[in-house]
């Protein structure tokens, strides 16, 4: 025979499955009260946690709105904002390379495939990897590329050209890189 103890606010009654209910046991009532307090405490904590999750979700929605605004801005505006986070060495590499190759800054940050611009991007990536601790995604962000894989490809193509002994308008690429490195040490 199963014995159940009901909470004080419930009437004592028989149960349909044949079990009987005895009068409340004071010990069972104290256990029930403890359990009720624990459940209430868990409910309050869960409610608080839910409020925190809702606040976090609101913050994330606001952040997503701000990011969407940033994505709608022109590429050069985003790149200028990146300058704050990127190391000074990277920007010095970029400036010296563009000056040496006479590549216009707006074309560098565009989708241009002009030989000088492509070479400038490759050299910036090569020197940034050699002289900074920047990752490929950070370099891609710094040069206005949408994805780090384009930066990796640019570096691989430049390395293949160096191994093949290619030149750029009659000057070996290794000489151009050496000249840019000298310019970096002077700057």
Q: What is the DSSP letter of 11?
A: P
How many CB atoms are closer than 10 A to CB 121? 26
Q: Which residues, listed in sequence order, are joined to residue 20 by a DSSP beta bridge?
A: 3
Q: Is the pLDDT of residue 107 over 80?
A: yes
Provide the pLDDT confidence category of residue 30 given band limits of 50, 70 and 90: confident
> Are 30 and 13 within 8 A, CB to CB?
no
DSSP 21: E
Name the band, by pLDDT with cuts 50, 70 and 90, for residue 54: confident
What is the rounded CA–CA span in Å between residue 32 and residue 48?
A: 24
State which of 24-28, 74-78, 166-170 shows the largest mean pLDDT.
166-170
| Domain extents in the chain | 3-72, 76-186
**In the structure, what pLDDT confidence band is assigned to residue 83 with cuts at 50, 70 and 90?**
very low
Angle at 102 between CA 76 and CA 166, to 5 degrees: 110
Q: Which two tokens stand for residue 157?
A: 């193509």
- So what's the pLDDT on residue 180? 93
Higher-pLDDT residue of 158, 37: 158
CA pseudo-torsion sign 99, 110, 140, 74: positive
Q: What is the mean pLDDT of residues 3-24?
A: 51
Q: What is the pLDDT of residue 124?
A: 94
Output the pTM of the full model. 0.54
Which is more confidently placed, 87 or 73?
87
Q: Please name the helix (run of DSSP H) or strand (run of DSSP E) that holds residue 4, with its range, or none.
A: strand 3-4
Of 159, 139, 160, the C-alpha closest to 149 is: 139
Instruction: State both tokens at 169.
Output: 């308008």
Percent of the chain having pLDDT more than 90?
Answer: 29
Dist. CA 1–CA 64, nearest whole Å:
61
pLDDT of amino acid 76? 45
Determine how many CB atoms are found less than 10 A away from the CB of residue 116. 17
Range 24-43 average pLDDT: 74
Residue 108 above 70 pLDDT? yes
State the Cα–Cα distance between residues 129 and 28, nearest whole angstrom. 71
Give the chain's length. 187
Most confident of 7-11, 45-49, 132-136, 148-152: 148-152
Interatomic CA distance for residues 92 and 86, integer angstroms: 11
pLDDT of residue 187: 65
Average pLDDT, rounded, for the chain: 77
Topology at the third CATH level for domain 76-186: Chromosomal Replication Initiator Protein Dnaa; Chain: A; (1.10.1750)
Residue 82 has pLDDT above 70, yes or no: no
CA distance 97 to 101: 6
């Amino acid at each position: 025979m199963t014995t159940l103890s009901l909470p004080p606010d419930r009437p004592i009654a028989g149960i349909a499955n044949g079990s009987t209910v005895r009068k409340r046991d004071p010990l069972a009532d104290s256990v029930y009260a403890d359990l009720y307090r624990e459940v209430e405490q868990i409910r309050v904590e869960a409610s608080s946690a839910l409020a925190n999750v809702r606040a976090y979700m609101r913050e994330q929605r606001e952040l997503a709105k701000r990011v969407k605004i940033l994505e709608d801005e022109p590429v050069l505006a985003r790149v200028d904002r990146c300058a704050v986070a990127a190391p000074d060495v990277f920007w010095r590499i970029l400036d010296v390379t563009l000056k040496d190759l006479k590549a216009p800054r707006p074309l560098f940050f565009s989708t241009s495939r002009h030989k000088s611009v492509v070479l400038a991007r490759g050299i910036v990536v090569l020197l940034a990897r050699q002289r900074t601790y920047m990752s490929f995604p950070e370099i891609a962000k710094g040069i206005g590329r949408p994805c780090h894989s384009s930066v990796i490809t640019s570096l691989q193509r430049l390395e293949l050209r160096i191994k093949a002994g290619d030149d750029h308008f009659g000057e070996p690429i290794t000489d151009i890189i050496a000249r840019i490195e000298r310019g970096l040490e002077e700057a």
